[in-house]
């Protein structure tokens, strides 16, 4: 499950990604094969730490 992280809030990607040109036809992040295709990995998964990605719009996403 992907979530969007800000300094003090957590958002569901459906609320943010609908306006992104890189989102899929359902307004969801392009997630496939265990990778975010509309962003890049910024933090490798460590023990008990979710993988974090930076999307093209500048948001940080975590795979929890």
One digit per residue, the tens of pLDDT, for the chain of length 64 reads 889 998 899 999 988 899 899 999 998 999 888 888 999 998 666 777 888 899 988 999 998 8
Q: How far apart are the first and last CA of the chain?
A: 5
Q: Residue 30: what pLDDT?
A: 92
Q: Residue 45: what pLDDT?
A: 62
Q: In whole angstroms, give the CA distance from residue 15 to residue 17.
A: 6
Q: Residue 49: what pLDDT?
A: 81
Task: Give me the phi and psi of 30, to 5 degrees please.
Answer: -80, 95
Q: Residue 43: what pLDDT?
A: 64
Q: Residue 61: what pLDDT?
A: 92
Q: Residue 3: what pLDDT?
A: 92
Q: Per-domain residue ranges for the chain?
A: 2-63
């Amino acid at each position: 499950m992907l979530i969007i992280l800000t300094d003090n809030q957590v958002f569901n990607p459906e609320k943010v990604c609908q306006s992104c040109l890189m989102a899929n036809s359902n307004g969801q992040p392009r997630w496939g094969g265990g990778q975010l295709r509309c962003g890049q990995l910024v933090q490798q998964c460590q023990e008990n730490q979710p993988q974090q990605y930076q999307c093209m719009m500048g948001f940080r996403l975590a795979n929890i």
